[in-house]
A and B are shown apart, each in its own frame.
Chain A
Amino acid sequence: MKLEITINGTLHQFDVDPSLRLIDLLRDKLNLTGAKEGCGEGECGSCTVILDGKAVHSCLTLAYQIDGSEITTIEGLSEGEELSIIQQAFIRNGAVQCGYCSPGMIMTAKALLDKNPSPSEEDIKLAISGNLCRCTGYNKILDAIQVAADQPAIAEENL
């Protein structure tokens, strides 16, 4: 099936088997290995990417279904070597240990902050309820997202 999707700002054209999952398109065809397959059943969130502004499990999305859509992955958050505010906040606040959950967690955080720039702690907890972390105990992740939310928007542009 012919497929046209924008990934991290670049338009791509593919011809795919209908059963190809988005996570496999990203990892195997584009070498965007930030999204990880932790479970393959929508429980862990480590495959989370942003599809047309919404956080989704890329392991539960077929590529051919999303013709015409825009995807952002973790690789699309940095500008060259400049990390985004959310990424910097995660690193500086101890929210990254093994890093396996981090791409999915950060994309979930980005989807949240794009929609709700001033989330409460409850909003953040609900937003990340679909992302598991086995290392940090979540507290530092909550802190990092709150810190990122508190940064003025203009700092994002200056990165």
Chain B
Amino acid sequence: MKKIKGSRPTCIEELSSALASATDETRLIAGGTDLIIKMNQMTTNIDHLITLNHVQEMSQIFMEKDHLYIGGNLTFDELENDALVNEYIPALAAAASMVGSPQIRNRATIAGNVANASPCGDSIAPMMIYDAQVQILNGAGQISEKPIEEVVIGPEVNSLQSNEVITGFHIPIKPSAFISHFVKLGAKKTVTIAKINMAVGFEIDKVTNTIMTPRVAMGAVGRTAKRFPEIEAIIDQQLISQNLKLKFSAALSAAIEKAIGDRPSMPYKREAVKGLADDILNYWPAFNH
């Protein structure tokens, strides 16, 4: 069996040094809940494993002036329970609570979930509705940023080079009146991969009782998770009412039909999304009469 080199960097400088010699067969590992499964299935050749768990800077979460910085090592258990995440990007806290099992949530990290770029990845839709920027470090010590849509570019395809790593995320802070949530439909109630997941956010104009600045993203209904501006346009400035709920449902259904028209799962998902639409809107008292 080929001998694998192991690196265990403790800071950004050491991580960058380890990446300097990266090849196509170098693998980064944090939680390991995706990579080790691939290793067990022997579907991946590895010459060098770089573990990220000890890189201190990647375990931080803090406010900057108008951004929330989330270090790439934060686990889903940490994200679910973090006060800053619950305040400034609640859809992500909700998504985090639904990833895998408790054991997986104790290890799986947000950078890993994004880098793995599954069409069903639960952290991606929430980050899309908040215009998350991905912080990337390379083997030359350079740090750059890209919108998440430019990192997650296909089913299990990211745009990172062999010598690049996601170190964290910058989440622009939205106005305090902006609320968001996340729902997921799977074959089981828990410990399940999404058949559809959805992040929705908006403000409510209290005077007119209408939706403002809506954001809608779905995953598992296309090659990557994505935002749906056409659905946002349909619900924008609409009065909160039973009629709005029906319009929203219909818009989601139509979007799925367009996005995955020839997939065998389309007839199911086109109907199932209506239940998810109810689930997410009914989360807010404003929609419950």
B-binding residues in A (CB < 8 A):
1, 17-19, 21, 40-43, 45, 48, 51, 54-57, 59-62, 64-67, 108, 126-127, 129-130
Contacts and interface: CB of A to CB of B under 8 A. Distances in A.
A55 B102 contact: yes
A60 B36 contact: yes
B32 A60 contact: yes
Contacts of A127: 102
Contacts of B46: 19
A43 B107 CA distance: 14
A54 B108 CA distance: 13
A66 B6 CA distance: 13
Contacts of A67: 8, 54
B37 interface: yes
Interface of A is mostly: mixed
11 contacts: A17-B3, A19-B49, A42-B100, A42-B103, A45-B101, A60-B33, A62-B32, A62-B49, A65-B53, A129-B191, A130-B103
B5 A18 contact: yes
B199 to A, nearest CB: 22
B36 A21 contact: yes
B6 A64 contact: yes
| Cβ-closest 8 pairs across A and B | A130-B101, A18-B6, A54-B106, A129-B190, A1-B6, A18-B49, A65-B51, A130-B103
A133 to B, nearest CB: 14
Interface of B: 3-6, 8, 29, 31-33, 36-37, 39-40, 46, 49, 51, 53-54, 77, 100-104, 106-107, 190-191
Nearest to A65: B51
Contacts of B39: 19
Contacts of B4: 17-19
A59 B36 contact: yes
Contacts of B102: 55, 108, 126-127, 129-130
A43 B191 contact: yes
B32 A1 contact: no
Interface centre among A18, A45, A54 (most CB of B within 10 A): A18
A55 B39 CA distance: 22
Given A61-B32, A64-B6, A45 B53 contact: no
Given A18-B4, A65-B53, 6 more contacts: A17-B4, A42-B101, A60-B33, A62-B32, A65-B51, A130-B103
Nearest to A127: B102
A130 B53 contact: no
A115 B148 CA distance: 35
Contact of B101 (A17, A19, A66, A129): A129
A127 B39 CA distance: 27
A61 B54 CA distance: 14
Contacts of B53: 65-66
A19 B35 CA distance: 11
B104 A42 contact: yes
A60 B107 CA distance: 9
A57 B107 CA distance: 9
A126 B98 CA distance: 11
B101 A62 contact: no
Given A19-B4, A65-B32, A56 B51 contact: no
Contacts of B104: 42, 57, 60, 130
Given A64-B6, A129-B101, A55 B33 contact: no
B58 to A, nearest CB: 14
Contacts of A48: 103
Given A54-B77, A129-B190, A40 B37 contact: yes
A65 B29 contact: yes
Nearest to A61: B32
A56 B103 contact: yes
A21 B3 CA distance: 15
Contacts of A126: 102, 190
A59 B104 CA distance: 11
Nearest to A48: B103
A55 to B, nearest CB: 5
Contacts of A62: 29, 32, 36, 49, 51
